[in-house]
Structure formats: structure tokens, C-alpha cells
Structure 1
Amino acid sequence: MTSTHEPPVAPQHPVVRRHHGDEVEDPYEWLRDKDDPRTLAHLEAENAYAEARTAHLADLRGRLFEEIRSRTLETDLSVPVRHGGWWYYSRTVEGSQYAIRCRTAVSSPDDWDPPTLVPGEPVPGEEVLLDSNVEAEGHDFFSLGGFSLSDDGSLLAWSTDVVGDERYTIRVKDLRTGELLADEIAGTSGGVTWSADGSHLFYTTVDDAWRPHRVWRHRLGSDADDVLVHEETDERFFTGIGRTQSERYLVIGASSKITSEVLVLEADDPTGDFSVVVPRRDGVEYSLEHAVVAGRDLFLVLHNDGAEDFELGALPVDAAPVDRPLREALETVVAHRPGTRLEGIDVFARSLLLSYRREALTRVAIASIDDDGLGEPREIDFGEELFTAGVGANAEWDQPVIRLGMGSLVTPSTVLDLVVETGELVVRKQQTVLGGYDPADYVQHRTWATADDGTLVPISLVARADTPRDGSAPALLYGYGSYEISIDPGMSVPRLSLLDRGFVFAIAHVRGGGELGRAWYDHGKLTHKKNTFSDFVAAARHLVAEGWTSPERLVAEGGSAGGLLVGAALNLAPEAFGAVVAEVPFVDALTTILDPSLPLTVIEWDEWGDPLHDPDVYAYMKSYTPYENVGEVAYPPVLAVTSLNDTRVLYVEPAKWVARLRERSTGEVPALLKTEMNAGHGGVSGRYAAWHERAWELAWIIDVVGAPHEPRPAATDVGAGS
């Protein structure tokens, strides 16, 4: 980077923070005022500076965008999913930013083989339900939230956000006539659920802290005020509504980070009263599905009451509510197995699908349901060392095939149908990667780093098969490590542009995620949070020790809570990384979690602790929050990317962090801040805009560690004598 442009200097206007006898002067807190012209001027100046510092990468950005585009089948179709008398699918068209959602009629009641759709060719009998490109016209940002069809397929309800603040407007269309109905509901959280007869819609709204807290009922065509059917008054809980797989019940879920409660109502009685299945008890989490087993109506309840990694039990529908511990009240269906984290169930008329994790990999098993009861679960073999698998879109209660999905770091996303009767897996589609992609040119690998306390931390990585193991290769290490969210191995088309320039890509499955069960999460949250950061540093050093890369060629990347991760790891060991990319990073965590008026703060206290009322939590968080702990050391180059309209991690966090890095770093290369002025937490909208955005980041990553701007020839293109 050779630009002579000087970085913007944020003026210091100290704001004093006082808690638990601790007084802190924060010179950059004034940037929180989004309406202050000085704030917007500063962000615009940062954008101009970032563009100037990276102007020499314009050609590389263009090449990377074209690589992504040339590898992507731009005109494509999804595998149709059957619901009622229709096959539903989405398609994309070259040059269009967004998907078009469509359907075509089922040929006969016994037709369970989805029609073969050919990209670019007309689909016989196609009916366009919603063209998001039309919906997005005239807007700089567009996000589709809910997309829900009435049970008879005659009505469509959907929601859109055209700002990026996650406030969605619901609209309804009569698919029989194409008429847009007068029903329009603004300010919702996005989801929308139908009653069984299509007479009512249910939706949620958020409070001032962006917490979904109210469930409403709207009668279609009515001018009367919508009816509040559930309000969650505990600020630690958020709520939502949906339907069971059987479509028999409407289900309201209320959950904090550690406790949950479910209320149900027959879906054909939309104006009735919801009833609690299991009253909330602190620390007990559960979810449920409806099943009919040997003629009995049951709720299958997935819970952690006395079962750290969850177990599955059965409760007769008429036995609710439960007034004693779940392990006593339920008939055990799948017993608790320490180290095997049960994560979800999908229930059909003839089968039960279990989704779980074992040894840091996703697993799926199927059990039969018949007149004799439930059969023994059988794990499905996906045939790879590293993979991600799960249950796909399945809309019918009684169907002879179950839609699954799988992929890996080298295998493109694959859609499968599992034939229930025979166990056969039928490949319906595999993501097309153009340009001669050959999985054999790449290798994926699982390795384990040793953390400071001796814990083994799994790392999944992928590289070109011809990548050297002498420490000379550049590498990108990605991490997240919060909320029990797992970062599973999957293929990425943009990532190929890195691999073909000699990069190793690795995922550090650090504590705080869910890869190795509930204990793995618990040991990376609250007052164990520092394990998340030290695990990531251990992973970085392990990659170096194994010869995959060297510190000066290793880029760390994380987004949101992963931005907190890389920011904290950078403070712990700035010498371990050659550069850092932080997307919408949660780097001023203590300031945010101290303010209960900010979005989601109170809900987050179960994840991070409550520094507002607990001095020990305050001191612990202050000791790791990236912004609070920037030192006077030589930091490597940092790229922070944020969004002005993000409601989850406010733009002010990276803005303050970058200002402090500039103030204190003794390194020669300054930090960069890039703010999307028309985007939300997920970044820009539209696939081409997203590709441009990723190309911008990839160009910086490639250049900052001195990797070649041109890709190497594919291994299959290199002759034996080369």
C-alpha cells in the first residue's frame, strides 16, 4: 500500500463513563450520534480514505468480481419442493440481483419426483408468485423477510425491508386473481404465519430495543385493530410464532439465552387461546413438534432438563401442561448422550429426522414411525471426512421422500432426497461451479490445536492440493465462537479465488460455538469468554507450527461476534497475525452491554453477563473488550467493514475502534474503515452487490499479505513435466 493520503483524525470529545467506582473517559463516544453531521462527515471521510488507500486494487477487484461471476451459474433454478398441488421453486436470471419465486402444478397425486428444470428454458405452467427484482425497484436496499402461503395455496403473504433496519412491511396477494389485497402491516419483525383456514395472519413486532416481544393476530380484510395474542414482558426473552410440521398447531415460542417456553393452539381455531405446554423454569430449554405415533397424538419435546446435550421425550397432547421436571414427565424417545448434542427434530407422518452434532460435525439420523411406534434411529452416511449435512425444505406432512442437503469444503452444495422406505439417497442437484472446477484439485483436512489450558480445538481447513507446507503459503483463519453457533465446513465460490492464489482457508472451531456440545459453548461464554480468544490465537499458532503458513502471511477474519473474537485476539497476540478483517464487529462490547436501551442488550446478559449490576462482570468484560484494550504496540493492518443502518452491531463500534487503533498503534500501516451507507447487519443487498463487496475485501486480503494478484493455473492444467 503506497498511498500518501493521510487518514481522517476523529476529534476527541471525551464522555465520562462511571460504573462500580470505575471512571473511564471515552474520547470517541460522540460518534454514536448518527444525526450529528460531524458523524456522517467522518464516516464519509473514512470511506474516501479507504478508497484512496486501495485505489491500486481496482483492477484486482474487477478480476475477482469476474471470477466469482464466471464461476456462478447466473440463470439457475432451485430443486422444486412439493406442497399440496404445486411444486414450488425459485430461479435467478443473469443480470438480476434477486431471486424470482414461482410454482408449477403437480402432474398427479403420486408424483413425488420433482420436475427437471433446465436453466434458461421456460418452465411449463409456471406461475410467478413474487419477483424480488420488481419489489426492489427504486430502493438502494432490499431484503425479503417472510414468504408464507396459505394451506390451500391461494394466498401469499410476504414481508420486505427496504432500509436495512430489519423493520418489515407485510403484504398479501390473492394468487387466484393476482390481486394485491388492501391488508398491509408495517413495522413487523418479518415473519408471517397463516391460520389453517387462511382467515388470519400472525406476526410479531419489536420493542424500542429491537426485541421481538409481541405476537399479533390480523383478520384478513378487516379494518379492525389487530389483536395482541401474546406479549413477552420479561426483557430477557424474545418471542415468535410458527406452525408444527403437521400444520396441526400454531406454536408461540418465548426464549432467553438459557430458558424457553412454548404455547400452542389448534391451527383451525385461530381466535382461541394459546396454552402453555411446559411453564418456563430458569435454565430449562425446550422445543417441540407434533407427532402421531401408533395412533397417539404426542408432542415430541427436545429439552435439556437434566440433559446437558439434550434428549428427546414424548408427551401426550392432552397431558399438557407439565407441572414437574421434564425427565420425570416425558417418555424417553432418544436418551441423553454426553458429547452428542441433539439440535433439532423434523417430524413427518412416517418418519422422524434427528439433527445432532458429534465430534464437531453435523449428523442426521432417521427413525420410522408406524403402527408399532418409533423405530431405532439410523445415522445417514454422507461419505466424507468433513461435511455439513441437514434436513432441507419439506412442506408435506405425509411424503415418501425427505429432502436433505449436504456439502463440504470441497463438495459443492448438494440437494438429496432420502427415500424413506429403502434408505436410498437420490441426488437431485449439485451446485454448478463453472470454469472447470474439479474437487480433486483441493484437499480438506481436520487438525487440532492445543489451547493454553490443554483443550484440543478443532480446525477445518482447505487448500489447493499443490499448496506447499513450508510456511510460505498465505492463509485466512475464520472464527466466530458465540451463542452456540457453529461454523460448519462448506464450499464457497468466492473462496476459490483465494485458494487458487495459494491461500489456505481455515475455520477455528473455538469455544463459545456449539461444535462440540453444550459444554463447548458454556466454556466460551460469561466469565469463560476469554477461552474463545485464546483458542483462536492457539489455532493461529498451530497453523504456523504445522507449516501451513507464517504469522506475517496469516489473515484473521470474523464478523459480528466474530469481529469481537478477532479484535480481542489481535490485542492478545498482535504478532500472530499479518492482517485482520472485521465485519460489523462487536468491538465495543462493554459500552453496548452496559446500556439496556440499546438493541438486544438485556437479552445478551445471559451470554456475556450483566456488567451494569455486577462489578465482577464489568471488570471481566473491561479486561477483554477490544476497544478498551488497544495497546501502544505495532498492530498489523486492519480492515473494518460496517453498515450505517445495522441495528445489531451499531456502526459506532468499529468507528471508535479504528480511531483508537490509529491513535495508539505504533505500526506503519493504518487501519481502514469502510461503511456501507445503505445496508444492514448482513451487508449490502443483491447478489451482484454482494459479489462486488466480497471482491473488495478479497482484493485487500490478497494484497496485504503479498499474495499474487493472478491465480495459479489449475492443477489439472499443469503438465507432468512442469
Structure 2
Amino acid sequence: MVSEPPVPSRRPTSRELFGKLLADDYAWMRDRDDPEVRAHLEAERAHAEAVLDMRTGDLRARLYRELRGRIKEDERSVPTKDGPWLYYSRTEQGDEYPRHCRRPHARDEASEQVYLNENLLAEAHDYFDLAALAISPSHRLCAYIVDLDGDEIYTLRIKNLATEELLEDTLVGCGRALGWGNDDVLFYTRLDPAHRPWQVWRHQIGSDQANDVCVHEERDPKFFVSVYRTRSDAFVAMSIDSQVTSEMWLIPTATPTAPAQLVAARREGVEYGLAHRGDQLFVLSNDGARNFAIELRALPGHEGETRVLVQHRDDVLLEDMDVFAGHLVIWERHDGLQRVRVVPLDPMPARAGDDSALAPGEHLIEFPDPAYSVWGDSNPEFETTTLRFGYTSLTTPASIYDYDLRTRDRTLRKREEVVGGHDPAHYRSARIWTQASDGARVPISLVWRAQSQSQPQSTDASRSPRPTVLEGYGAYGLTMDPSFSSARLSLLDRGVIWAMAHVRGGGELGRSWYDTGKLAAKHNSFDDFVACAEHLIHERWTTPAQLVATGGSAGGLLVGAVANARPELFTAIVADVPFVDVLNTMLDPSLPLSLVERDEWGDPTSAEGFAWIHAYAPYENVRAQAYPAMFVLAGWNDPRVGYWESAKWVARLRDRKTDDHQILLWTNMDAGHAGPSGRFEYLHELALEYAFLIDHLGLPNAADPRVA
């Protein structure tokens, strides 16, 4: 029997702003207390599953087994030395969540202590997220923050690791940031009614939360607060940030009840972060340096000159830094790819990283693949000459290295195991470029399974088009760096090319890449994605009948806007918790992030900001035309992108589209923005997406076992 999509009732509302009539038949879906809302979402979910099962049989169940079968169930992280202990996590057969362990680094593994078992904490809960965990300076206490609903409202608990008893201290309404002052004092954040972390509080261990002291309250609704302990252990740092402006304060850990000291007062458009070493602060700032520079400053309340240590460069974005006792490690980006620069600090260099390629004593850590991702792993100790970093590429599983900052020796400590085996030589990856309509060069990362040993990485006109998934994001200056996915093998081994469009609005090509993809220039994100799709078609990587677009959250906004503008380029679209009702959300200051994010999207209460958003908002621009088939996912408890955005969008698409392509809505009723929390549970949702992709790309149900 053919499943028919549920038809929601229409309850027309309208308002006029800046000469535009905003009519909405489905605004009622935002009312969580209306029983018709949940009933409709559950009917949509049942319809989506029925359609997929009818079209693909038991494919999603087989995909789940396939995806799970590649995951090593008894897994262990690389132990990290922190003081007298080695800390690590591990999982056992059937575990959804990690067990956090430690042992004295001078002893053997028989002395292991499982100090926090997430599986026990998650029992009787459909959702569980350990958002933060911090060990006290003496290693006697463990503070951790959990979310049991997916709504990102957290509870903080403290455990005595010597007695393994849970303290009575229970702090509710928390954000996800915390930092130890000393073993008796803990700093944490609290949320306002719009889910904004707006206060930093000081908690005395053993006391009631009612006795806590508010250290900072941020009344400007565009700013949010965070707190952490510096690697030097000398300070607790409070970071107060909007989308474009920063302010930082320091509290000495030796006197955690002392007043916070201001580093530099906020100035609109100036962002900065810091690290501490000796009597100086290393400050990463964009003040007069669009791609950021690094300065040396005296501590607050101390005299000393400020000097530039690492100069601004137009072609290099300084993304982050790690300061150790003898070395500065700079995480930077050049030509869209990450680099790691090592600067010795003994003696302190007179200059570093100016317009020359490398200053004396510096070196770059090199990486082999054409498209890859690298990140700092656990590096808690200040007095060390070893940097631990992670590396992955589109063909290489996540790998953990220890790197000697003096000798430059690199030691592989662990590589993610793909159960059943994975040979990177069977796959190819590439970084190619296309040109947007305004002349901007846009990078695309690709990975595919080779069809023969001799198949080159480069391309030629004789290639046969293949089914392709084009992924995009392009917002907040965040980068979408290429990484390995064992789950993605289920598509690659069926003949899919996976492509990543690094569009403007992200940070791949420096700060200007972000600035030219936001506010009035947001249309560049969509133009870039279209250019990437057209390039893949023109260069015979794929065809419109074989091309799917996918994006999540702000990436869902991207593919939603492109679906309105150029639907003929794609056979299907997957939108995961998509931010598609942009205009209505940004007009409502009571919703989480709406005021905070006006520096990203614009202020729709002004004529200018309204015009920017109204021009592309996916929900407002649905029109009478043919659309690709769509699979749309939402989260009932999502505080970032309300479930109603997806539900309203799907209803309006069905009302107005002129084709018979299926549009499916699937809402996770037990999770939020990030989806299911367990390491296996999320695979059920991914199997749904992959079944939809395999169906609409006309792929075989079984993976191709050919060896290149």
C-alpha cells in the first residue's frame, strides 16, 4: 500500500514589514504544547520510513549493520600524561559511550581506575551528552557537565576520585564551560531564557548553588561568555564574545576569589584570544590585522611594552595558537589548507612569521595528502617539548601523532581501525578549483573509489560521470576540512564521488573568505555552491541526474536557498536540521541565538537587514516550480534550529511545488541539534539518509567489493 504524506492544517497568519507581506499558514507548528504538532511530526516520520522501506526494502537495516560493522567496539584512546597520571578513555563491546580512565604513569595497566563511566550515567535516558569534563588541580576531584534531553541546558556534578563518591553539589541551568580555580573553587556559566551563556559563577565545593557568587553578568544580548583554566595553570580566563568582538578577563588561580582583571576592553570588530607564559601574554588578535597577528603583552596591572611577535599576512590566516614553556605552535591556513608552524621561544625570537616564508628557527610540519585536516589533540602540560596532534584526510583514517618540537621526529601513536580493513590505495582524493560568477576561485575537495590501479588522481575529458554528493556549509567563518569517514565507505564503495564545496562564508581562504559570505554578501555562498555544482557537471564528474546536495544547520540554509534558485542542478537534496526559516527566527529575540547572530545574518528589524535576509530565506522564497526530491531531518529538542523550521518548510514545499518528487520529513523526538548521542544510535539516522541517497542515485543496494 502506498503511503501518503500527512496534510497539516492551515492556520493563516500575516504581517507586513518594510512593504512586504509575510504570510504564514504554518506558524502554529511552533507551539510544542499543541497536540496536533507532535502528532503531525510523528505521522511525517512514519510516512518517511514507510516510503523508504517500500522503495528500498530492508536496505536501511542492512546499512545499519554495515556501518556498525566497521566500528571497533573495544576501543581505547592514547593515554595523555597530566601530572602524575595517564588519562585515557575506552569502550567495551556494546558500549554506546566511553569509560574515562586513568592510572599512575609510573605503574602498569593493572592499576587502572575507571573514574567516570558514561554508560552508567546514560542509563534510563534516551539521550545523553557529556558536554565537558575537568579534573581538579590536585587530581582529587572531577567536575562534569551533562545534558539528558538534547536541549543544551546542562547540569554540573562533581565526583571525589579518591572515594569514588558523588558530591552533593548539583549545579543546574548551566552552560557547557567550566574551569577550576583551585580544588575548592570552580567557575562555570549559566544560561539566560534564550539559552545564551550570560553569566560566570564561582562555586565553593561543598556548598549549595544558592550560595554561589556571580563573577560576571553580560547584559548585551549579542555577547556570550565562556570560562577555562589556562595551560600554565596560573589563571582562569573569562572570554566574552559576540560574532565579531571579544573581551577577556583573568582571575589568578592562586587567589580565585580575587576580582577579575581586564586584559583589553571590547572594541567593535576586534577579536582576540590569549595564552599565558611567565610574565607575558601571547595575544592572537585581528586589531589592524584582518588575518590576525600575535602580540606579546604584559600581564594586567604590570608595566611592559607590547610588541608584535608574528606579523599579519594577507595570504595566511592565523587560526589558533598553543603556547608551551619553550615553543609557540601556530595553527594557520594558506591557500585553503592547514599548516602547523613551530616557533622556538628560547631565546624569545626578535621576529617571527613576517613576510618571509619562515623566520630563523621556525619550521612547518608537513602533510602528504591533497586535502586533509589537522588539529591539536590533548596537550594539557605546559612544560613539554612534545606536541600531540591529530591528522586525517579523505582517504586516511584519523591518526594521532606525537611530534618532538625540537628534533621534528613524528611518532604515530594510533590510527582509527576500520573493522574489515581499509586500504587507502583503493581510493583517490583531489583538491580542484572552480570560478564563481564574480571571478572568485572556489576550492572543491573530492574523494572516490578508484576503478583501477592506474586511474590517475587528476581528471581528463574521457572520464565517465558518476553519482556524486556535494556537501556545503559556508557560515560563521568555520572551515569544512576534509576528513575520513568509515561510514562514507558505504557510498564510495557503491560508486559515489563525495565532494565538498568550500564556499564563502567559511574560513578556508582567510578572513576575507568569511567576510564576503555574510550579511549583504551572503548570496556569494549560494553562488559559489552553484558554481561548484556546474563545474562538476561541466568537467564530467557527474550529471544533474546523478548529483545530490547536502548540508546541515547553516549548510541546510545553503542547500535550501540553492534549491529555490537552481533546482534543476540536483536530483535530490538532504537537509539536516536546516536553518530555513531564517527571517522569522531572526525577527524573534526570544529564540536562542537570534540576537547573537545578527552580526552574521543581519538585523531584520532594519530595512537593510530585512532586505538581505528576505532575498534568500529558503522558507520565504519557496515558489511554484519543480524541486528535487528531498529528505529533511529535524530534532524535537533542538535549541538552535527549531524543529518547526523543517516542518513548515516541508509543508510549504509540498503546497507550491509543481512536480511529483517526494519530500520526506523525519524528526528525532528524543534529540536536539546534534542528533542521537550514542556512538551506535546515530547510525540508525545515518542509515536512513544513506538509504535515501542510494535510492535516488540509482545505486546498487550492495557495496561493490572490487579492489582497485
* TM-score, reference length from structure 2: 0.95
SS of 1:567's equivalent?
Answer: helix
Q: Is the 8 A contact 1:363 1:390 kept in 2?
A: no
Alignment deviations for residues 488-535 of structure 1 (CA, whole Å, 9 cap, x no partner): 010001100000000000000000000000000000000000110111
The alpha carbon displacement at 1:241 in A equals 0.5
- Worse-superposed segment, 626-635 or 54-63: 54-63
Structure 2 segments unaligned to the other structure (5+ residues): 351-359, 456-461
Q: Indicate yes or no: 2:378 matched with 1:402.
A: no
Matching of residue 24 in structure 1 with residue 16 in structure 2: no
**Whole-Å Cα distance in 1 between the matches of residues 222 and 385 of structure 2?**
41
Distance 2:251 2:123 in 1: 39
- CA–CA distance in structure 2, aligned partners of residues 382 and 312 of structure 1: 24
Q: In structure 2, what is the equivalent of residue 351 of structure 1? A: 327
Supply the distance in 1 between the matched residues of 2:499 and 2:27 (Cα, whole angstroms).
35
8 A Cα contact 1:85 1:106, kept in partner: yes
- What is the match of residue 293 of structure 2? 311
1:529 maps to which of 522, 528, 534: 522
Is it true that 1:340 corresponds to 2:316 in the alignment? yes
Aligned counterpart, 1:421: 406
Shift of 1:22: 2.6
Determine the C-alpha separation between the residues in 2 that align with 1:513 and 1:42.
35
CA distance in 1, matches of 2:492, 2:573: 18
Q: Is 1:710 aligned to 2:702, yes or no? A: yes
1:644–1:676 Cα contact (<8 Å) kept: yes
1:247 CA displacement: 1.2
Q: Indicate if the aligned counterparts of 1:486 and 1:515 stay in contact, CA closer than 8 A.
A: yes
- Does residue 1:190 correspond to 2:176, yes or no? yes
Residue in 2 aligned with 1:599? 592
**What's 2:256 paired with?**
270
Distance in 1 (CA, whole Å) between partners of 2:300 and 2:652 is 60
Displacement of 1:714 in angstroms is 2.9
Q: Secondary structure of 2:666's match? A: strand
The SS at the match of 1:78 is coil
Aligned to 2:49: 51
Q: 1:299 to 1:661 in 2, by over 3 A?
A: same
**Equivalences for residues 443-462 of structure 1 within 5 A:** 443-462=428-447
Give the Cα separation in 2 of the matches to 1:58 and 1:232: 54
**Residue 385 of structure 1, CA deviation:** 2.2
The 8 Å contact of residues 263 and 300 in structure 2, kept in 1 or not, is answered as no
Letter in 2 for 1:50: A
2:86/2:105 contact within 8 Å kept: yes
Residue 465 (str. 1) matches residue 450 (str. 2)? yes
What is the identity, as a one-letter code, of the residue corresponding to 1:239? V
For the structure 1 residues 447 and 334, does the alpha-carbon distance in structure 2 shift closer, same or farther, using more than 3 Å as the test? Answer: same
Secondary structure at 2:177's aligned position in 1?
coil
Structure 1 residues 470 and 634: CA distance shift in structure 2, 3 A: farther
Q: Does 1:104 align with 2:86?
A: no
**Counterparts of residues 565-584 of structure 1 (less than 5 Å):** 565-584=558-577
User: How far does residue 65 in structure 1 lie from its aligned partner after superposition?
Assistant: 1.5
Q: What amino acid sits opposite 2:562 in the alignment? A: A
**Equivalence for 2:667:** 675
Q: Is the 8 A contact 2:85 2:104 kept in 1?
A: yes
Aligned to 2:188: 203
Q: Is 1:367–2:343 an aligned residue pair?
A: yes
Query: How much has 1:390 moved relative to structure 2?
Result: 2.0
Letter of the aligned partner of 2:294 in structure 1? L
Question: Take 1:529 and 1:377, find their aligned partners in 2: how far apart are those partners?
Answer: 38
1:315, CA displacement in angstroms? 0.3
Deviates more, 1:427-436 or 1:650-659: 427-436
Letter in 1 for 2:47: Y
Task: Please name the residue that 1:688 is paired with.
Answer: 680
3-state DSSP of counterpart to 1:18? strand
Deviation of 1:320 after TM superposition, in Å, equals 6.1
1:145 to 101, 116, 131: 131
Query: Residue 154 in 1 paired to residue 130 in 2?
Result: no
How far apart, CA to CA, are the structure 2 residues paired with 1:652 and 1:679? Answer: 14
Distance 1:659 1:372, change over 3 A: closer
How far has the Cα of 1:404 moved from its partner?
1.0
Deviation at 1:319, TM superposition (A): 5.6
Contact residue 413 and residue 430 of structure 1 kept, 8 A: yes
Instruction: Decide whether the 8 Å contact of 1:289 with 1:300 is kept in 2.
Output: yes
Partner of 1:298: 280
Report the AA paired with residue 405 of structure 1.
Answer: G
Instruction: Give 1:670 deviation, angstroms.
Output: 2.4
Cross-structure match for 1:35: 33
Q: CA deviation at 1:318?
A: 4.7
Question: CA–CA distance in 1 between the matches of 2:2 and 2:626?
Answer: 20
Contact 1:390 1:404 in 2 (8 A): yes
- Which residue matches 1:619? 611
- Are the counterparts in 1 of residues 573 and 628 from structure 2 also a CA contact under 8 Å? yes
Aligned equivalents of 1:370, 1:561: Cα separation in 2: 44
Give the corresponding residue for 1:119.
none
Give distance in 2, aligned partners of 1:662 and 1:573: 18
Which amino acid letter does the alignment assign opposite residue 570 of structure 1? A
**Helix, strand or coil: the match of 2:596?**
helix
Give the 3-state SS of the residue equivalent to 2:200 in structure 1. Answer: strand
Quote how far apart the aligned CAs of 1:46 are: 0.6
Partner of 1:325: none
Q: For residues 259 and 372 of structure 1, do their structure 2 counterparts lie closer, same or farther at Cα, with a shift above 3 Å needed?
A: closer
Deviates more, 1:431-440 or 1:299-308: 431-440
Contact 1:279 1:321 in 2 (8 A): no
Alpha-carbon separation, structure 1, partners of 2:434 and 2:563: 18
Pair 1:540-2:526 in alignment: no
2:563, 2:336 → 1: CA distance?
A: 25
Corresponding residue for residue 585 of structure 1: 578
1:214–1:541 CA distance, 2 compared to 1 (3 A): same
Q: Which amino acid aligns with 1:522?
A: D
Tell whether 2:656 aligns with 1:664: yes
Asked whether 1:260 is paired with 2:253, we answer: no
Show the counterpart of 1:88: 87
Identify the match of residue 422 of structure 2 among 427, 437, 461.
437
What amino acid maps onto 2:655 in structure 1?
Answer: E
Q: Structure 2: how far apart are the matches of 1:320 and 1:341?
A: 30
Measured after TM superposition, the shift of residue 74 of structure 1 is 1.1
For 1:320 and 1:5, locate their aligned partners in 2 and report how far apart those are by CA, in whole Å: 72
For 1:300 and 1:50, locate their aligned partners in 2 and report how far apart those are by CA, in whole Å: 53
CA distance in structure 1 between the partners assigned to 2:562 and 2:348 by the alignment: 55
* C-alpha contact (below 8 Å) 1:213/1:232 kept by paired residues: yes
Letter in 1 for 2:332: Y
Q: Deviations over 1:172-201 (max 9, x none)?
A: 111111111111111101222111x31111
Q: Does the CA-based 8 Å contact 2:327-2:385 persist in structure 1?
A: no
Farther-moved stretch of structure 1 (616-625 vs 489-498):
616-625
C-alpha separation in 1, matches of 2:639 and 2:664? 22
In structure 2, give the amino acid aligned to 1:157. A
Q: How many residue pairs were aligned?
A: 689
The residue type equivalent to 1:503 in the other structure is V
Q: 1:13 maps to which residue?
A: 11
| RMSD (CA atoms) | 1.5
The secondary structure found in structure 2 opposite 1:67 is helix
Quick check: 1:364–1:390 contact (8 Å CA) kept in 2?
A: no
TM-superposition CA deviations, 1:449-468 (whole Å, max 9, x none): 21111111100000011189
- Which residue of the partner structure matches residue 120 of structure 1? none
- On the 8 A contact 1:253/1:260 being kept in 2, the answer is yes
How high is the sequence identity, in percent, across the aligned residues?
Answer: 46
In structure 2, the partner of 1:562 is: 555
Contact 2:153 2:195 (C-alpha < 8 Å) held by counterparts: no
In structure 2, the residue corresponding to 1:189 is in which secondary structure? Answer: strand
* Match in the other structure for 1:510: 503
CA shift, 1:64, in A, is 1.5
Contact 1:278 1:320 in 2 (8 A): no
